[in-house]
Amino acid sequence: MKIAVTGTAGQVVTSLIERGMAAGHEVIAIGRPDLDLADPASVVRALSATAPDAIVSAAAYTAVDKAESESDLAFAVNGAGPGAVAQAAKALGVPLIHISTDYVFDGTLDRPYVESDPTGPTGVYGASKLAGEQAVLDGHDDSAVLRVAWVYSPFGVNFVKTMLRLAGDRDALGVVGDQVGNPTSALAIADAILQVATNMVADSSPELRGIFHMTAPGEASWADFAQAIFAASAARGGPTALVRPIGTADYPTLATRPANSRLNCGLIARVHGVTLPDWHMSLDAVMDRLQPMAL
């Protein structure tokens, strides 16, 4: 299967290239200058030239706090951009998988969110991603939107690598303990994307399309996650630090983070047969690759 993916350097894109090649798929990553989500004409042109069997819309504007002062750019990339990707996929007659986020919710529920729960983003980033979801679903019936959360991997900048880097300089770290979510490995996300793409290429059933939540089983606060990272690091002879849970109010940010980022993934398990590994298992796999590498 030939898969075209938007972007060239993100955690999901890099993981998809690696896992796709390992599974015998051809994954073509396309980014700037050939494909610029802020330039819809370039999106259609670049994707059409690849003649893929499926398209993965993974590139995004992800600077959550900076988006508060760059709303036009965030909406151009995260809103209009995926709409152009949907236009290209429709013209080519191929399935589209679009990666979205838990930030489309306000985080006030006291249970994991299901796909039918009302959305209510609290910042520009979440609002722009919600606009992208709608643009994809309006623009191409043969689309699946996958909402992911708390993504980490051996690649790029992410929470795991930040914690390990900070532990190299500090004995103790204050980490937010009143936000809860599902830590999810980009490597596991990539494997799941490949399964969803395979299903959609082989079967045109409407139930395989639409919005799905796709995170790892198991929940944690950021402080819990940090403690697990340091435990795994210590077991491998790597850096560690004492974690001191703090409140969201003690770590102010420009954009409001959801207090509850937990996503219920029962639908994608039933419809696509996709269940990601527990996050503890995936964390161990990532830590094995990060150490003894320089972080």
pLDDT tens digits along 229-276? 999 999 999 999 999 999 999 999 999 999 999 999 999 999 999 999
The pLDDT, as a whole number, for residue 41 is 87
Side-chain-side CA neighbours of residue 282 (13 Å):
26
Q: Active-site positions?
A: 125
SS3 call for 7: coil
DSSP 260: B
Q: For the segment 193-216, what is each residue's pLDDT rounded down to a tens digit?
A: 999 999 999 999 999 999 999 999
H or E stretch covering 29: strand 26-30
The pLDDT, as a whole number, for residue 217 is 98
d(CA 263, CA 62): 19
291 Cβ contact list (under 8 Å, min separation 6):
233, 236, 237, 238
The pLDDT, as a whole number, for residue 144 is 98
Give the residues of the chain that fall short of pLDDT 50.
294-295
The pLDDT, as a whole number, for residue 292 is 56
